[in-house]
Amino acid sequence: MAKVAIVTGGSRGLGRAMVLRLGKMGYNVVMNYVSDSSGKECEKNLEELRKMGVDGIYIQADASTYEGCETVVKAAVEKFGDKIDVLVNNAGVSNNAEFYKQDHADYEWLIRVNLLSVMHMTRLVLPYMVEAKKGNIINISSIGGLMGVINQADYCATKSGIIGFTRALALEYASRNIRVNAICPGMIDTDILKGVNQDELNALAATIPLGKIGDPECIAGSMQYLIENDYTTGVYLTPNGGIHMP
Protein backbone atom coordinates (compact mmCIF):
# COMPACT_ATOMS: atom_id res chain seq x y z
CA MET A 1 0.00 0.00 0.00
CA ALA A 2 1.40 3.38 -1.05
CA LYS A 3 2.27 5.87 1.63
CA VAL A 4 0.43 9.19 1.80
CA ALA A 5 1.85 12.71 1.86
CA ILE A 6 0.19 16.12 2.08
CA VAL A 7 1.91 19.14 0.50
CA THR A 8 0.36 22.55 1.05
CA GLY A 9 1.03 25.05 -1.71
CA GLY A 10 1.92 22.14 -3.99
CA SER A 11 0.81 23.56 -7.32
CA ARG A 12 4.06 25.06 -8.63
CA GLY A 13 7.64 26.04 -7.78
CA LEU A 14 9.08 24.36 -4.71
CA GLY A 15 5.75 22.67 -4.04
CA ARG A 16 5.62 21.05 -7.46
CA ALA A 17 9.20 19.80 -7.19
CA MET A 18 8.42 18.19 -3.83
CA VAL A 19 5.10 16.72 -5.01
CA LEU A 20 6.76 15.03 -7.97
CA ARG A 21 9.71 13.84 -5.90
CA LEU A 22 7.26 12.26 -3.45
CA GLY A 23 5.59 10.55 -6.39
CA LYS A 24 8.94 9.10 -7.47
CA MET A 25 9.39 7.88 -3.90
CA GLY A 26 6.09 5.98 -4.13
CA TYR A 27 3.78 8.33 -2.26
CA ASN A 28 0.20 9.23 -3.06
CA VAL A 29 0.10 13.01 -2.72
CA VAL A 30 -2.58 15.42 -1.53
CA MET A 31 -2.33 19.04 -2.69
CA ASN A 32 -4.37 22.13 -1.94
CA TYR A 33 -4.89 25.23 -4.07
CA VAL A 34 -6.74 28.54 -3.83
CA SER A 35 -6.90 30.18 -7.28
CA ASP A 36 -8.28 28.57 -10.43
CA SER A 37 -4.90 28.94 -12.14
CA SER A 38 -3.25 26.99 -9.32
CA GLY A 39 -5.91 24.31 -9.69
CA LYS A 40 -4.85 23.83 -13.32
CA GLU A 41 -1.24 23.43 -12.20
CA CYS A 42 -2.31 20.82 -9.63
CA GLU A 43 -4.07 18.93 -12.42
CA LYS A 44 -0.78 18.80 -14.32
CA ASN A 45 0.96 17.49 -11.21
CA LEU A 46 -1.70 14.81 -10.79
CA GLU A 47 -1.19 13.65 -14.37
CA GLU A 48 2.53 13.29 -13.71
CA LEU A 49 1.91 11.39 -10.48
CA ARG A 50 -0.32 8.90 -12.27
CA LYS A 51 2.33 8.33 -14.90
CA MET A 52 4.61 7.27 -12.04
CA GLY A 53 2.07 4.70 -10.88
CA VAL A 54 0.86 6.56 -7.81
CA ASP A 55 -2.23 8.67 -7.21
CA GLY A 56 -3.18 12.01 -5.74
CA ILE A 57 -5.92 14.55 -5.22
CA TYR A 58 -6.09 18.32 -5.17
CA ILE A 59 -8.54 20.31 -3.11
CA GLN A 60 -9.57 23.95 -3.32
CA ALA A 61 -8.96 25.08 0.24
CA ASP A 62 -7.32 28.10 1.83
CA ALA A 63 -4.62 26.85 4.22
CA SER A 64 -4.55 30.24 5.97
CA THR A 65 -7.76 29.25 7.77
CA TYR A 66 -8.36 26.38 10.17
CA GLU A 67 -11.44 25.40 8.18
CA GLY A 68 -9.42 25.23 4.98
CA CYS A 69 -6.81 23.01 6.63
CA GLU A 70 -9.60 20.77 7.98
CA THR A 71 -10.92 20.41 4.45
CA VAL A 72 -7.52 19.25 3.18
CA VAL A 73 -7.01 16.66 5.92
CA LYS A 74 -10.56 15.32 5.69
CA ALA A 75 -10.19 14.92 1.91
CA ALA A 76 -6.90 13.07 2.39
CA VAL A 77 -8.45 10.64 4.88
CA GLU A 78 -11.56 10.08 2.76
CA LYS A 79 -9.44 9.29 -0.29
CA PHE A 80 -6.54 7.32 1.17
CA GLY A 81 -7.62 6.20 4.64
CA ASP A 82 -6.70 7.32 8.15
CA LYS A 83 -2.93 7.16 7.71
CA ILE A 84 -0.84 10.23 6.84
CA ASP A 85 2.86 9.44 6.60
CA VAL A 86 4.31 12.82 5.60
CA LEU A 87 3.18 16.41 5.97
CA VAL A 88 5.07 19.11 4.05
CA ASN A 89 4.01 22.59 5.20
CA ASN A 90 5.03 24.55 2.13
CA ALA A 91 2.36 27.26 1.65
CA GLY A 92 3.91 30.71 1.83
CA VAL A 93 3.60 34.29 0.62
CA SER A 94 5.56 37.54 0.75
CA ASN A 95 4.42 41.16 0.91
CA ASN A 96 7.88 42.53 -0.02
CA ALA A 97 7.14 45.97 1.38
CA GLU A 98 8.56 48.43 3.85
CA PHE A 99 6.97 47.50 7.15
CA TYR A 100 5.43 50.78 8.27
CA LYS A 101 3.86 51.29 4.86
CA GLN A 102 1.89 48.06 5.15
CA ASP A 103 -1.65 47.96 6.43
CA HIS A 104 -2.04 45.69 9.45
CA ALA A 105 -4.31 43.48 7.34
CA ASP A 106 -1.37 42.79 5.01
CA TYR A 107 0.95 41.34 7.62
CA GLU A 108 -1.90 39.60 9.44
CA TRP A 109 -2.71 37.78 6.18
CA LEU A 110 0.94 36.84 5.72
CA ILE A 111 1.11 35.47 9.27
CA ARG A 112 -1.98 33.35 8.65
CA VAL A 113 -0.55 31.87 5.46
CA ASN A 114 3.07 31.43 6.50
CA LEU A 115 2.82 30.47 10.16
CA LEU A 116 -0.72 29.69 11.23
CA SER A 117 -1.20 27.29 8.31
CA VAL A 118 1.81 25.33 9.56
CA MET A 119 0.32 25.15 13.06
CA HIS A 120 -3.18 24.30 11.84
CA MET A 121 -2.07 21.54 9.46
CA THR A 122 0.25 20.06 12.06
CA ARG A 123 -2.47 20.11 14.73
CA LEU A 124 -4.86 18.29 12.38
CA VAL A 125 -2.40 15.68 11.11
CA LEU A 126 -0.71 14.79 14.41
CA PRO A 127 -3.56 12.60 15.74
CA TYR A 128 -3.12 10.24 12.78
CA MET A 129 0.64 10.11 13.27
CA VAL A 130 0.31 9.56 17.02
CA GLU A 131 -2.12 6.70 16.36
CA ALA A 132 0.26 5.16 13.81
CA LYS A 133 3.24 5.71 16.15
CA LYS A 134 5.24 7.26 13.33
CA GLY A 135 5.24 10.27 11.07
CA ASN A 136 7.32 12.88 9.33
CA ILE A 137 6.65 16.62 9.30
CA ILE A 138 8.74 18.95 7.16
CA ASN A 139 8.24 22.69 7.48
CA ILE A 140 9.44 25.00 4.71
CA SER A 141 11.03 28.00 6.35
CA SER A 142 13.52 30.28 4.55
CA ILE A 143 16.96 31.75 4.76
CA GLY A 144 14.91 34.79 5.81
CA GLY A 145 14.25 32.96 9.05
CA LEU A 146 17.99 32.93 9.75
CA MET A 147 19.02 36.42 8.68
CA GLY A 148 17.44 39.82 8.11
CA VAL A 149 16.10 40.75 4.67
CA ILE A 150 15.14 44.31 3.72
CA ASN A 151 11.40 44.81 3.13
CA GLN A 152 10.71 41.34 4.55
CA ALA A 153 10.32 41.98 8.28
CA ASP A 154 6.93 40.26 8.50
CA TYR A 155 8.11 37.38 6.29
CA CYS A 156 11.30 36.88 8.33
CA ALA A 157 9.29 36.88 11.56
CA THR A 158 7.08 34.03 10.34
CA LYS A 159 9.98 32.01 8.95
CA SER A 160 11.88 32.35 12.25
CA GLY A 161 8.71 31.26 14.02
CA ILE A 162 8.59 28.10 11.90
CA ILE A 163 12.09 27.15 13.05
CA GLY A 164 11.14 27.57 16.72
CA PHE A 165 7.94 25.59 16.19
CA THR A 166 9.91 22.83 14.45
CA ARG A 167 12.43 22.46 17.26
CA ALA A 168 9.81 22.40 20.01
CA LEU A 169 7.64 19.84 18.24
CA ALA A 170 10.63 17.64 17.47
CA LEU A 171 11.31 17.37 21.20
CA GLU A 172 7.65 16.92 22.08
CA TYR A 173 7.05 14.03 19.68
CA ALA A 174 10.40 12.27 19.38
CA SER A 175 9.33 9.60 21.89
CA ARG A 176 6.35 8.82 19.63
CA ASN A 177 8.55 8.25 16.58
CA ILE A 178 7.37 11.44 14.86
CA ARG A 179 10.20 13.46 13.35
CA VAL A 180 9.90 17.19 12.68
CA ASN A 181 12.43 19.10 10.57
CA ALA A 182 12.65 22.25 8.47
CA ILE A 183 14.16 23.44 5.20
CA CYS A 184 15.39 27.02 4.85
CA PRO A 185 15.88 27.66 1.11
CA GLY A 186 18.05 30.48 -0.18
CA MET A 187 17.47 32.08 -3.58
CA ILE A 188 15.67 29.49 -5.73
CA ASP A 189 14.54 29.73 -9.35
CA THR A 190 10.75 29.85 -9.07
CA ASP A 191 7.95 31.94 -10.63
CA ILE A 192 8.95 34.87 -8.42
CA LEU A 193 12.10 35.35 -10.53
CA LYS A 194 10.50 34.91 -13.96
CA GLY A 195 9.83 38.63 -14.42
CA VAL A 196 13.27 39.73 -13.27
CA ASN A 197 15.69 41.20 -15.81
CA GLN A 198 18.41 38.70 -16.81
CA ASP A 199 21.21 41.16 -16.02
CA GLU A 200 19.75 41.66 -12.56
CA LEU A 201 19.56 37.89 -12.10
CA ASN A 202 23.18 37.50 -13.13
CA ALA A 203 24.19 40.22 -10.67
CA LEU A 204 22.21 38.47 -7.95
CA ALA A 205 23.82 35.11 -8.73
CA ALA A 206 27.26 36.72 -8.51
CA THR A 207 26.64 37.53 -4.84
CA ILE A 208 26.17 33.81 -4.07
CA PRO A 209 29.45 31.97 -3.32
CA LEU A 210 28.50 29.04 -5.58
CA GLY A 211 27.75 31.57 -8.31
CA LYS A 212 24.26 30.41 -9.19
CA ILE A 213 20.62 30.52 -8.17
CA GLY A 214 19.29 27.23 -6.85
CA ASP A 215 16.93 24.85 -8.62
CA PRO A 216 13.71 23.63 -6.93
CA GLU A 217 15.06 20.10 -7.25
CA CYS A 218 17.66 20.84 -4.56
CA ILE A 219 14.81 21.54 -2.14
CA ALA A 220 13.08 18.33 -3.18
CA GLY A 221 16.37 16.53 -2.51
CA SER A 222 16.57 18.04 0.96
CA MET A 223 13.02 16.89 1.63
CA GLN A 224 13.87 13.37 0.52
CA TYR A 225 16.89 13.29 2.82
CA LEU A 226 14.78 14.35 5.80
CA ILE A 227 12.18 11.71 5.03
CA GLU A 228 14.65 8.87 4.56
CA ASN A 229 17.14 9.64 7.34
CA ASP A 230 15.41 8.23 10.40
CA TYR A 231 17.96 9.61 12.86
CA THR A 232 17.34 13.27 12.01
CA THR A 233 14.87 15.43 13.89
CA GLY A 234 14.70 19.03 15.10
CA VAL A 235 17.12 20.34 12.46
CA TYR A 236 16.94 22.72 9.54
CA LEU A 237 18.71 22.27 6.23
CA THR A 238 19.55 25.46 4.37
CA PRO A 239 20.38 24.95 0.68
CA ASN A 240 21.52 28.50 -0.13
CA GLY A 241 24.68 28.33 -2.24
CA GLY A 242 26.84 29.51 0.65
CA ILE A 243 25.30 32.95 1.05
CA HIS A 244 24.58 32.15 4.71
CA MET A 245 26.63 29.68 6.75
CA PRO A 246 25.04 29.07 10.17
Question: Which residue among 33, 155, 173, 236 is the active-site one?
Answer: 155
Q: What is the mean pLDDT of residues 15-25?
A: 98
- The reported pTM is 0.96
The mean pLDDT value for 68-95 works out to 96
The pLDDT tens digits of the residues spanning 121-170 come to 999 999 999 999 999 999 999 999 999 889 999 999 999 999 999 999 99
Predicted pLDDT of residue 6: 98
What is the full DSSP assignment across 130-181?
HHHT-EEEEEE--GGGTS--TT-HHHHHHHHHHHHHHHHHHHHHGGGTEEEE
**What CATH architecture applies to the domain 3-237?**
3-Layer(aba) Sandwich (3.40)
Domains in the chain: boundaries: 3-237
pLDDT of residue 200: 75
Catalytic status, residue 27:
no
**Band (238; pLDDT cuts 50, 70, 90):** very high
pLDDT score at 204: 79
Flag the least confident range among 93-102, 150-159, 189-198, 201-210: 189-198
What pLDDT is recorded for position 195? 63
Letter string b/e over residues 77-112, b meaning 16 or more CB atoms within 10 A of that residue's CB: beebeebbbbbbbbbbbbbebeeeebeeeebebbbb
Contact 15, 34 (CB under 8 A): no
- Count other Cβ atoms within 10 Å, centred on residue 205: 16
What is residue 196's predicted lDDT score, i.e. its pLDDT? Answer: 65
